[in-house]
Structure formats: structure tokens, C-alpha cells
Amino acid sequence: MPPPAPPPALTKPYKPYFFYGHRKPTQNRPTVRGGLFSNRQTLNLKKFSYPTTSMHEPFDLQKWDPDEETNQKPPLGRDPSEKFFSLAKNLSPIARYIVDAFRKHKQWSPQLVAELNRLRRVTPKLVAEVLKFPDVDPRLSSKFFHWAGKQKGYRHDFACYNAFAYFLNRANQFRSADQVPELMHMQGKQPSEKQFEILIRMHADANRGLRVHYVYEKMKKFGVKPRVFLYNRIMDALVKTDHLDLAMSVYNDFKKDGLVEENVTYMILIKGLCKARRMDEVFHLLDQMRKNLCKPDVFAYTAMVKVLVSEGNLDGCLMVWEEMRKDGVEPDAMAYSTLIMALCKGNRVDEGYELFKEMKEKNHLIDRAIYGSLIEAYVMDGRVGSACGLLKDLMDSGYRADLAIYNSLIKGLCTEKLVDRAYRLFQVTIREDLQPDFHTVNPILVSYAELKRMKDFCKLLEQMQKLEFSVIDDLLKFFSGIFEKNDRVVMALEVFEYLKMHNYVSTPIYNILMEALLENGDIKKALALFQ
């Protein structure tokens, strides 16, 4: 008897499988974030390619106009809400549904509430996720937060309140964010130190020192005592926003709470007092730091010197330097360079040079910037010989002088009527390929004009042309600088007459000369130039 025929195979109906959003991870199935899946069929990306302007012509940057309308409009076919969906793709499906409802309705309305009521329940985690989404109208997010709080059996957790505070600050409603602790208290949730720390950090990052102190006073009303870290954050924000007296009052509360200072605590206050030039209080805090904690190290002293330098308090810098020596702290190269360069800028080059010699005796690495500061200071003080000696020392140390050092020396030599030596230094800059500029040659041109060495003047102009200087523009700057002193009008006219013979003139130069003559009262000479 033949075996019975097998039953006909059941054909599985074609049912595409769509998934959009998070999928719960299992052992056999990885997590997928967003996207469209349909029976392993890939989408044809050519359908979604955006049209380009021209695929054959290369892009020419010189022809590109940023103000052209086609460059400001989005490409054709691009959805204007593409930015919204690119941000929303990382949300969970229900959170994406909520923010998409916000996008469609654009205001709080019965239709929006009806869409939200379709959700069976909104959890605190979901509320925090929606509040963290950046591309939503602040009014809608705020209304949603209060709507969620009215659900039966629902209570906001700490994450919701924190997200609400961040959201309000992001929307520049920081005054409303400061009221979140009161809102928590009204809804039966006692605010902890974390909520106040969030507000303090937001105000400190935005340099709102008075707001930081306002939140700190609110902490005391709620009976919350900050940790040492948060106290340091509060005092640092107040010091940076120039509210030193408030910072000292917070420090008094710090001591009343029985907390122990850290190194950071002392340094925050000391730098603030240095900035305010209250040196007596600085040394008082340094004594407390030595007794209660430890001696300040070289980094602490260097930070104090930098603050005093920024305020131009050189006497305070030297007092701190002496205090460092009393503590037996050995200054490093950074401390030396900071103080030496500050003394040079403050026209106290002799004290800077003493520290420079001390630095060499201790075999510290001397930066070229220190040499440059000393050379410039000596030139400003009229001691060009000492500056040239430092240049030789610089080269003996294995350094190569930069253009700023040569410019300073050339200017000093020209001031001392040593223009030939200045010209030789100019030749050195050419040999070393330092690319001299107008500031290099201008002192030499002025000296040649004062000494009436017009042949050398024109020879230098020819050399400037070979070096690809813009000679006419540089001559314009030359005459503008000459007329800053009223007693040089005659000299400028002599130079101009000589340059006119060699075709080194232009209309702007005529204009400068005529303007100077009119200001000097020589109307006839100005009219003659105009003719």
C-alpha cells in the first residue's frame, strides 16, 4: 500500500516587518537604534541623493560668493525638519512621539493634550528624556513638565527636577531655574546638595557671581551645608567676577562650619587678594596655610606672581618673590621668565637683569623671549650697547635672533645716530632670511632723511623693491609717521622733491603733504603742490 501523500506545505503570508526605534537587546539580537527595516531589503540610496550643481566643472573658491542666495538656501529636496529628526532619532519611541507632537502643534492646545492623553502613562524617566531634548519650544517643555506632574499617582524624581533646571538654564530662564528648589519643596521633595550644585555650576560657567551667592544663601535657608568642593566652587566664582568681599564672607561661613581648608581653598582666596592688591591679607593667609596645611610650592607662588603681573603690581611681585625665598622654595624657569619679562615691561630692566644672571648661574634653560624682553627694555632705556651685548650672548647660547629683536636693535641704533650699524643689521636679517618688513627699514629711512643722505635713501628703496616690498605704500606710511612731529615738515618736503625726481610719488603722498602743510599754515606751498 503506498504511503499517504504529505500534506501540502503551508505558505507563510508575506508580512513585512517594520521597526523604528529602540529594540530590547537579547542574547541573539543586538540593540538597534532607529532606522527602517523591511525583510532585509535595502533602500535605494540613489532615490534620496540630493542634486549637485555641476559634476564636471571643478569648484573654484575665488568664484564662490557666500552672500549668493543659492548658497544660503538648503539643497532642493531636503526636508526642512531634517535637523529635528536627526536629533530625535536617538530618543526612545514614546519620547520621539511626544517631541514630534510638540513639533506639529507648536503650542499648548487641547489637540496636543489629546495626543498626550493617548499615552497610557508617562514615567519620570520619560519626562527627563523629553526635557533634555534641545530642539523644543521652552514653553511647551515647561507645560509638559507640569502636565506630567498632575498624573494620578505620579511624582517627579530627582532626575526630572535636574533636567528641568538644565532646560530652564538652556532657555536663558536662569531666574526660573533658581526656583526649582522651592518647587521641589512644595511637591514634597526636599532638595539636596546636588540640586544646588547644578545651579551654582550653571551660574559660575556664565560668570553670574551674584546669582551664585543668591543660590548659596538659599542653600542656608534650606539647611543644606556645602561640602569643601562646593565651597571652593562658590568662592572661585565670586573671586572671578570681582566679588571678593562676598567670597571672604563665604570663607568665614566655611570656617564656622568646622571644615578644613584645602590647598585649592587657600589659593582661590590668595589670588583674589593679589588681584585686589591687599598684600597684608595675602601674607596672613600664607601664614595660615603654612600652619594648618603645608608651605606653598613653586606652582602656587608662580600663580601669585602671574596675577600680580596682570595687575601691574611689580612691588607686590618682588614681595612674593622674597617670601618664596624665605620658604626655601626654588623658583623654576617659568617663575623666572614671568618676573623678568614683567620687570622689563615695567622699565625696571636692571632688576630683571639681576634675575637673569641668577638664572644663568643655576643653569636654567633661558628662553629666547627672555632675551628679547631684556634687549627691548635696554633699547627703550637708551642703552643700546648693553642690548647688543645680550644679542651676542643670545647667539653664543645657540639661539637665532628673531625679526622682533633685530627691529628693536635697529631702532635703538638709529636713535643713537648709528645708522650704518643699523644698516648692517638690516643686511643680517636678509642673509638669515627673516623677511624684514616696513618696521625694519623705517628707522633707517628716517635717519637717512634727517642726515640728508638721499643717495643712501634711494639705494635702500631700490633694495626694498628687489625684496618685493610695496615701496609706494611704505613711503605713504613713512610720510605719515614723519608728520606726527610738526618740526619735520621742511625735511619731508626735501625728501619729497628728491623722490619726485626718481618717480617715487603717488596721489596719496601728495594728499598727506598738502594736509600737513595746511595744518602748518603754509597755504601757498599746499596750493603749489596741488598745481
For 246, the grid coordinates are 562676598
Is 71's pLDDT higher than 70?
Answer: no
Whole-model pTM: value is 0.71
Q: How far is CA 181 from CA 20, 229, 424, in A?
A: 38, 20, 74
Distance CA 522, CA 509 (A): 17
DSSP state letter for 261: P
Say which residues have a Cβ less than 8 Å from residue 64's Cβ, sequence separation at least 6: 71
- Give the pLDDT of residue 101: 86
Mean pLDDT of 444-462: 84
Average pLDDT, the chain: 81
- Give the pLDDT of residue 517: 65
Per the document, the length of the chain is 531
Segment (H or E) for 390 = helix 384-396
**Domain extents for the chain?**
84-171, 470-531
Tell me the one-letter amino acid at 100.
D
Tell me the one-letter amino acid at 414.
C
Distance CA 353, CA 374 (A): 7
Tell me the angle at which helices 279-292 and 263-275 cross, rounded to the nearest 10 degrees.
170
* Burial annotation 55-71 (CB, 10 A radius, 16+ → b, else e): eeeeeeeeeeeeeeeee
User: By the 8 A CB rule, do 467 and 426 touch?
Assistant: no
Is 435's pLDDT higher than 70?
Answer: yes
Is 248's pLDDT higher than 80?
Answer: yes
- Give the pLDDT of residue 84: 64
Does residue 292 or residue 26 have the better pLDDT? 292
Mean pLDDT of 502-510: 70
pLDDT band at 478; cut points 50, 70, 90: confident
Distance CA 386, CA 344 (A): 14
- Give the pLDDT of residue 459: 87
The model's pLDDT over 385-403, given as tens digits with 9 standing for 90+, comes to: 888 989 898 888 888 888 8
- Give the pLDDT of residue 41: 43
Nearest to 262 by CA among 236, 232, 291, 286: 232
Distance CA 344, CA 390 (A): 14
Q: How far is CA 32 from CA 37, 84, 96, 212, in A?
A: 10, 20, 15, 43
Distance CA 239, CA 236 (A): 5
The model's pLDDT over 188-218, given as tens digits with 9 standing for 90+, comes to: 889 989 999 999 999 999 999 999 999 999 9
Mean pLDDT of 284-296: 88
Is 496's pLDDT higher than 90?
Answer: no
Nearest to 195 by CA among 174, 173, 224: 224
Distance CA 499, CA 478 (A): 13
> Per mean pLDDT, which range of 46-60, 164-178, 369-383, 493-507 is the poorest?
46-60
For 357, the grid coordinates are 644672571
The model's pLDDT over 105-138, given as tens digits with 9 standing for 90+, comes to: 888 889 988 888 888 788 889 999 888 888 778 8
Phi then psi for 23, rounded to 5 degrees?
-125, 135
Distance from the Cα of residue 401 to its chain's centroid = 30
pLDDT band at 521; cut points 50, 70, 90: low
Mean pLDDT of 424-453: 86
For 488, the grid coordinates are 619735520
Distance CA 213, CA 249 (A): 10
pLDDT band at 48; cut points 50, 70, 90: very low
